[in-house]
Structure 1
Amino acid sequence: MKISVERTGGIAALTRVWTVTAETERAKSEWQPIVEACPWDAVPKTVRAAAAEAEGSQPDRFIYSIRAGQRRAALPEQRVTGPWRVLVDSTRAAAEDSR
């Protein structure tokens, strides 16, 4: 299972991408509960939809595009909470540790 988190926007409009590939059964069993905990059907699927949802409320905030296998989600920064925060932070930490 490939998991990627792309963060765009902010004051400098920089894009950062963190990717993790869970190939072994052990890795899959660690990542699967984190992925399953996220409410994929309750959030926009595209960055454009997420940006429209957040438009005007807080300029210069980040937008996160999250992919896990066939699942897709896009969230404004202020909605990256709960299980989404766990998934984003875990992916970022694992990607940075693998460098």
Structure 2
Amino acid sequence: MKVTVTRSGGFAGISRRWQVYVEKEPDEQAWLVLLKGLPWDDIPQDEPKPDRYLYRINCEPYQPVIPEPREALIPEQDLTGAWRELVDRVRERDEQKRDLRPAHPFSPPAE
């Protein structure tokens, strides 16, 4: 199951995206507990504030925990509790994996 977090907006308007494949994580059960406990039916409905981020969270189905695809749009000011925990975990894991990737063989050496 893939979980994707996309952050858009902000002062510069630059989008960022992070993703995790839950079944490949060593703590898969902890991810499933977190995803199952999210308030998917009670997503904050506030409008994003100017120059603040908007988070789009997409979750693929994973039987029986997440029976159907899920999506949430959450303004930065409402990204709290379990939503914040999920976004932080996805971002940290994705960035850790990027740091472990080998450099492209044709890239110039760092100076």
Shorter-chain TM-score bucket reads: 0.7 to 0.9
Q: Distance in 1 between matches of 2:93 and 2:76?
A: 20
Distance 1:82 1:94, change over 3 A: same
Q: CA RMSD in A?
A: 1.8
Structure 1 segments, 4+ long, off by >2 Å, are 23-28
Give the total of aligned pairs: 90
Of 52, 67, 70, which aligns to 2:58? 67
SS of the counterpart of 1:11?
Answer: coil
Distance 1:10 1:25, change over 3 A: closer
Could you tell me the TM-score, scaled by structure 2's length? Answer: 0.73
Give 5+ residue unaligned stretches, structure 2: 61-68, 99-111
Give 5+ residue unaligned stretches, structure 1: 45-49
Could you tell me the TM-score, scaled by structure 1's length? Answer: 0.81
Partner of 1:76: 75
Partner of 1:17: 17
Q: Of the two, which has the highest radius of gyration?
A: 2
User: Which structure is richer in relative contact order (CA contacts within 8 A, separation 6 or more)?
Assistant: 1
Matching residue's letter, 1:62: Y
Which one has the bigger helix percentage? 1
SS of the counterpart of 2:23?
Answer: coil
Matching residue's letter, 1:68: C
